[in-house]
Amino acid sequence: MLTCASDPILSLSPVVLTAFDPPKHMSSWEWVTQYAVTHKGDPFDGASYPYLKGICDAFDDPKVRRVFFRACSRVGKTEINLGLHIAAQHREPDTGLIATPTEGLLRKTIKDRLWPMLDLNSQTRPGLPPKHLRAATKCRASTFITHGAWSGSPVTLGDLDPKYLHLLEISKYSRDDSDEADPVDLVLQRGSEIPDRKVFAESTPTLAGTCAISRLVEQGTNRSYFVPCPHCGDYSPLYANETHEKSTGGLWWDRDKDGSSTPSRAYKSAVYVCSSCKVEWGDEHRLAQVRKGVWVAPGESIDVNGNVTGTPHNDGPDESFNLSRLYAPTFTFADYARECVTKVGTEQEQDFRNSWQGVPYAPIRVSMSWERLAAKLCVGTWERGTVPEQCFALTCAVDVQIDHFVCVTFAWDLNKVGHLIDFGTVSTWSDVAEWISRSYDHEGHSPIRPSLTLIDAKDGNRKDEVIDNCRDMNNERGPFVWPSMGMNAKSFNGAFFVRSNVDANNNVDRKQARAINGLQLVKVGTAISQDWLNNSLFNRKPGDRNSIIFPMWAAESRALFEQLLNESWDPKTGLWARIDMTVPVDFRDAVRYARVGIEAYVGGDWAMNARPRRTTTTTRPIAPKHKPKREGLAAKANRRLEASRGPGASFIREPRYVVNNQ
């Protein structure tokens, strides 16, 4: 029997034939939703984070080289960043790089997140080394290697040329002390000569003007996520209405005629108002509408069917995206409204703008005459050097100048209100010692002395001098006298201060240093302390929580109030700067440092540390400026044991108030 050449010699089943098909290309979104798991072993929940699909598609686009994502916290930034990196390394293995702001975050990212995500994934587990061979700052598998790096450490970058570059929290990167180059730009240069290199960078924003993720996002396509109204179908991005007009649409909650509301009232009444049809809708529709959302860039338009037309204004190789917590699956409209009312207008406003709204924070600039400010703040009736009855602690702050020292003393109550007790300038270190060791009359109580003093050591010419004098005046059981320095806001994440050992941070030779146990360097959070002061000057009434009150006798001090007003936030540079260069800001800095001092003293727990203080009948003099006599090991051990017990064997730190009752 003759056979035709076109007839198959052997009949094959469809299952076998599929083995000869070319491999199907799987998109990043398909790979992540099908295979990716969290570091806890849970499957990646694509249905709850639908907006991440557009970001994955941009990462896959061969015309796109860099993807930037500016978003609030808790919307899946880190999960999708690491998920995309794992997907890329699994499909086309190559050299990778993961960079973070700090070494600690890098170790946590690779050791506690990346390795578990690889180990719990069925696709990537076979190529992993044993657990005891897994490094904390590098991921080496059988088919790929991913290096780790952190900002401020150029040596971790070396000569790396990664094809896959994934950056976490780039707005919090900090410069190395010896390098003036921008740390984000340094990292982004790695592997730039590779034609098919892919970059994914994400971050919560920080201050406007210095926010790295904002700069990069706004230079890219700058997309927002549009969702349809469940009633009319009109597409628009979700936003909060902070105006007085409900008709303008957005997230709305009940408020008074002056726009004020309360957190509980906002939580109970939060609804979303469509800017087109004006119909209200709520959380029962939110997640369903978010799943129908579309990314739209400036220059593009979208119709009621979700079709996007037009060309982005910044159409190029960089795709960028913005997202707020209004889209987050684990939060509600009510949560957002309550947080907005709670934090906007306070020193926590930056946290709301960054972590909830997903935008950089721009402090408001306010203009006011010194006479008006004096009239507003000077309502206290106490005499100079007298502490109001409700106050439980005193702090001093000293701003160090070339030929003088600016000193302030504040008293604090449980409502976090600062009461100005005294201020002035002195000429010598002996005068400073006398200022911070004096005793003050306390209405209804025994006399009281300052619990903690911060002395500004930011002037490099006098840093060693400041630290040396702090050692002489400090007592390891209190009162405390510690050096302080204003630091970059990126390092603080909304905290008033970070405390560390002074010797370790100032390169002091431990063999020669006259170290006193307990001497600390207090790094002052510039952003939050500036915000607190500005809110106290302009947005709060004296006596309100977190406010300041000045006594009436201070109202005639023009220099004091002019200095308090002589600094504002510059939106161009993103920094706080003087308004009038002929007027100093010494008193302003001292007031900020006094507030940081009380935060450092109570350790964040105002109520627990505001206990009645014991007094004695003797006055402890300031420590003399000479090298203390070395003590034997046994005596030192006994002294430390006694000091560790504290007054009354309490676990609460209770610095001594030493006063003169004669």
Instruction: Give CA torsion, residues 486, 491, 496, 500, to 10 deg.
Output: -80
Report the distance separating Cα 393 and Cα 519, nearest Å: 20
Tally Cβ neighbours within 10 Å of residue 310.
13
Instruction: Please calculate the CA angle 643-648-652 and round it to the nearest 5 degrees.
Output: 75
Helix (H) or strand (E) holding 273: strand 271-273
Instruction: Please calculate the CA angle 158-66-38 and round it to the nearest 5 degrees.
Output: 85
pLDDT on residue 460:
60
Q: What is the mean pLDDT of residues 274-286?
A: 96
Report the distance separating Cα 409 and Cα 439, nearest Å: 11
Of 392, 449, 363, 371, which Cα lies nearest the Cα of 621? 449
**2 pLDDT higher than 70:** no
Out of 242-256, 432-446, 560-574, 642-656, which region has the weakest mean confidence (pLDDT)? 642-656
Cβ atoms of 595 and 408 closer than 8 Å: no
Query: For residue 316, what are the CA distances in angstroms to 58, 163, 300, 320?
Result: 12, 20, 14, 11
SS3 456: strand
Helix (H) or strand (E) holding 636: helix 633-645
User: Which residue(s) pair with 140 in the sheet?
Assistant: 145
Q: What is the mean pLDDT of residues 449-467?
A: 87
pLDDT on residue 539:
87
Report the distance separating Cα 373 and Cα 377, nearest Å: 6
Higher pLDDT, 499 or 273: 273
Report the distance separating Cα 200 and Cα 188, nearest Å: 10
Out of 18-32, 205-219, 585-599, which region has the weakest mean confidence (pLDDT)? 18-32
Cβ atoms of 493 and 528 closer than 8 Å: no
How many CA atoms within 13 Å lie on the side-chain side of 336? 33
Report the distance separating Cα 569 and Cα 366, nearest Å: 10
Q: pLDDT tens, 122-181?
A: 999 999 999 999 999 999 999 999 999 998 775 566 678 899 999 999 999 986 544 557
The CATH number, out of the four listed (3.30.720, 3.40.1360, 3.40.710, 3.30.420), of the domain defined by the range 378-628? 3.30.420
Cβ atoms of 97 and 190 closer than 8 Å: yes
Tally Cβ neighbours within 10 Å of residue 14.
6
pLDDT on residue 639:
47
> What residue spans define the domains of the chain?
28-219, 224-311+332-357, 378-628
pLDDT on residue 509:
44
Report the distance separating Cα 444 and Cα 464, nearest Å: 41
Q: pLDDT tens, 466-511?
A: 999 999 999 888 899 999 998 765 556 668 898 888 765 444 444 4
Instruction: Please calculate the CA angle 333-339-345 and round it to the nearest 5 degrees.
Output: 135
Higher pLDDT, 659 or 52: 52
Higher pLDDT, 282 or 478: 282
Residue percentage of the chain with pLDDT more than 90: 67
Sequence-ordered alpha helix ranges (H) in 210-282: 212-219, 263-269
**65 pLDDT higher than 80:** yes
Report the distance separating Cα 420 and Cα 362, nearest Å: 29
Q: pLDDT tens, 598-635?
A: 999 998 778 776 654 443 333 444 444 444 444 454 44
Q: What is the mean pLDDT of residues 552-568?
A: 94
Higher pLDDT, 462 or 643: 462
Higher pLDDT, 561 or 494: 561
**64 pLDDT higher than 50:** yes
pLDDT on residue 158:
62
Higher pLDDT, 390 or 612: 390
Region for 465 from its dihedrals, namely left if φ exceeds 0, alpha if ψ lies in -120 to 50, beta otherwise: alpha
pLDDT on residue 488:
61
For tokens 């602690």, the residue is 393
pLDDT on residue 202:
97
Distance in angstroms between the alpha carbons of the first and the last residue of the chain = 129
User: Which residue(s) pair with 549 in the sheet?
Assistant: 419
* Residue 424 main-chain phi, psi, to 5 deg: 165, -175
Q: What is the mean pLDDT of residues 532-540?
A: 91
Query: For residue 225, what are the CA distances in angstroms to 282, 306, 570?
Result: 18, 12, 30
**546 pLDDT higher than 60:** yes
Domain covering 28-219 assigned CATH 1.10.3470.10 in the classification:
no
Q: What is the mean pLDDT of residues 94-121?
A: 95
pLDDT on residue 157:
63
pLDDT on residue 258:
80
Residue 447's identity, in one-letter code, is P
The burial of 438, by beta-carbon neighbours within 10 Å (0-12 exposed, 13-18 middle, 19 or more buried), is given as middle
Q: What is the mean pLDDT of residues 304-329?
A: 95
- Pairing state between β 386-387 and 441-442: parallel
Report the distance separating Cα 237 and Cα 249, nearest Å: 11
Indicate the pTM of the whole model.
0.68
Query: For residue 595, what are the CA distances in angstroms to 150, 477, 524, 605?
Result: 32, 21, 10, 14
Q: What is the mean pLDDT of residues 228-232?
A: 97
User: Which residue(s) pair with 475 in the sheet?
Assistant: none
9 pLDDT tier (thresholds 50, 70, 90): low
Report the distance separating Cα 69 and Cα 218, nearest Å: 10
Higher pLDDT, 514 or 576: 576
Domains 28-219 and 378-628 share a fold: no
Structural tokens at position 223: 């997309």
Q: pLDDT tens, 13-43?
A: 665 555 555 556 799 999 999 999 999 999 9
Report the distance separating Cα 457 and Cα 459, nearest Å: 6
Query: For residue 449, what are the CA distances in angstroms to 189, 387, 551, 613?
Result: 55, 10, 19, 10
Instruction: Please calculate the CA angle 361-206-32 and round it to the nearest 5 degrees.
Output: 120
SS3 482: strand
**425 pLDDT higher than 70:** yes
Structural tokens at position 556: 């005639």
- Pairing state between β 497-501 and 520-525: antiparallel
pLDDT on residue 661:
35
Higher pLDDT, 294 or 568: 294
pLDDT on residue 307:
96
Residue percentage of the chain with pLDDT more than 70: 82
Cβ atoms of 395 and 609 closer than 8 Å: no
**Cβ contacts of 14-17, under 8 Å, gap ≥ 24:** none
SS3 576: strand
Report the distance separating Cα 11 and Cα 3, nearest Å: 14
Report the distance separating Cα 582 and Cα 379, nearest Å: 29
Report the distance separating Cα 437 and Cα 623, nearest Å: 11
Out of 120-129, 288-297, 510-519, which region has the weakest mean confidence (pLDDT)? 510-519
Average pLDDT for the chain = 85
Helix-helix angle 77-91:52-60, to 10 degrees: 30
Q: What is the mean pLDDT of residues 555-563?
A: 95
Report the distance separating Cα 235 and Cα 205, nearest Å: 26
Report the distance separating Cα 298 and Cα 300, nearest Å: 6
Cβ atoms of 228 and 304 closer than 8 Å: yes
